[in-house]
Amino acid sequence: MKLGFIGTGVMGAAMASHLLAAGHEVVVYNRTKQRATGLIEQGAKWRETPAAVAADSDVVFSIVGYPKDVREVYFGTAGIFAGIHEGAVVVDMTTSSPALAQEIATQATAQKVAALDAPVSGGDVGAKNATLTIMVGGDDAAYQRVLPLFELMGTHVNRFGTAGMGQHTKMANQIMIAGTMTGMVEMMVYAKSAGLPVDQVLTTLNGGGAANWSMANYAPRIMAGDYNPGFYAKHFLKDLRIALEEADKMQIELPATQLAHDLYAKMVDEKQLGNLGTQALIKLYAGWV
């Protein structure tokens, strides 16, 4: 099976390398060619456009930045749909909008191509160690066909329904994390302002009903003054925007998620801190700095 991979940033490069390591032929494209160098050295073949990747592939994976990038990669004049052939499968692993995933699926059907949306969680570490969680939406037959490839990249792979349901699951994940992140930073601001020994408070809270992954992983980074991105704040803001747009379409109100969005918007758009990690939200709070 000939594979294509579009988007070879930190996540994509690690993921594609597992496909190569398993012995697959992989053709690649990235907006910045330089970032594909490692993969090319590992045996991947470079193509000049997404269309050219698609023309040479039975399964095309993409993982890029924002929904507008996904749109360009799929629907652009030199996009995937300009090169793909009947019977192929396209798999967008970007965290992107469920509505766009459905658009892609509709166009795919028109070209007798199968489409899956398959966003991931687990970050750069998960991508490197092939321990990603992969949340898939789309046709089941296509899912079964791609599953052995997903399993080269992740340890928790599940299909949640038709086109868009992978993205919806990822949105649910981000809504949950919006709660743990806002709660965590406000807890730390309170603890510090009260004069508590924050390290000791964290140890105690990690052992009880307040325990959560964000606190276990990000609170120690904040304590160490480490605001480097495990996950970019600007990307988290993008995800929360998508989640709220979808909630709006479903006519549901999510006030806590809206507030988290507003805080991250302030951090990213107003304070220009979007290239820091999500834990740097704490920099908004007068009680911390």
Least Cα distance to 93 among 177, 16, 1 occurs for: 16
The span from the CA of 127 to the CA of 121, in Å, is: 9
Residue 47 or 170 with smaller CB distance to a second copy = 170
Q: Check residue 285 for interaction with a second copy (CB under 8 A).
A: yes
Residue 164 three-state SS: coil
Q: Which of 191, 222, 233, 282 binds a second copy (CB under 8 A)?
A: 191
Provide the CB-side half-sphere exposure for 128 (13 A, CA). Answer: 4
Nearest CB to a second copy, comparing residues 39 and 165: 165
Site string for a second copy, 115-144 (x = CB under 8 A): ------xxx---------x-x---------
CA distances from 63 to 8, 69, 151, 268 (A): 8, 9, 17, 22
Cα 173 from Cα 2, distance rounded (Å): 32
Applying CB under 8 A, the site for a second copy has a residue count of: 69
Measured over the CA atoms of residue 25, residue 142, residue 85 and residue 64, the dihedral's sign is: negative
By CB under 8 A, tell whether 46 contacts a second copy.
Answer: no
Write the binding mask 251 to 270 for a second copy: x where contact by CB under 8 A, - elsewhere.
xxxxxxx-xx--x-------
Q: What does the per-residue mask of binding to a second copy show for 53-92, with x meaning CB under 8 A?
A: ----------------------------------------
Contact region for a second copy (CB under 8 A) — 23-31, 52-60, 108-116, 239-247? 239-247
Residue closer to a second copy by CB (options 34, 251) is 251
- The interface region with a second copy, picked from 38-46, 52-60, 76-84, 245-253 by CB under 8 A, is 245-253
The nearer residue to a second copy, 65 or 287, going by C-beta atoms, is: 287
- From the candidates 170, 238, 249, 266, give the one annotated as an active-site residue: 170
Nearest CA to 98 out of 8, 154, 158, 172 is that of 172
Work out whether 204 is an interface residue with a second copy (CB under 8 A).
Answer: yes
Q: DSSP secondary-structure letter at 44? A: P
- Nearest residue to 252 (alpha-carbon basis) of 171, 158, 179: 171
Per CB under 8 A, does 113 bind a second copy? no
222 counts as binding a second copy under rule CB under 8 A? no
Q: CA 132 to CA 11: how far, in whole Å?
A: 10
Residue at token pair 């496909």 = 19
Other C-beta atoms lying within 10 Å of the C-beta of residue 39: 23
Segment holding 92, helix H or strand E: strand 89-92
User: Which member of 1, 141, 147, 211 binds a second copy (CB under 8 A)?
Assistant: 211
Catalytic, 45? Answer no
Cβ closest to a second copy, residue 55 vs residue 240: 240
C-alpha span between 18 and 133 (Å, rounded): 15
Which residue numbers are catalytic?
170
Which residues make up the interface to a second copy (CB under 8 A)?
98, 121-123, 133, 135, 156, 158, 160-161, 165, 168-169, 171-184, 186-191, 193-197, 200-201, 204-205, 207-215, 217, 243, 246-247, 250-257, 259-260, 263, 285-287
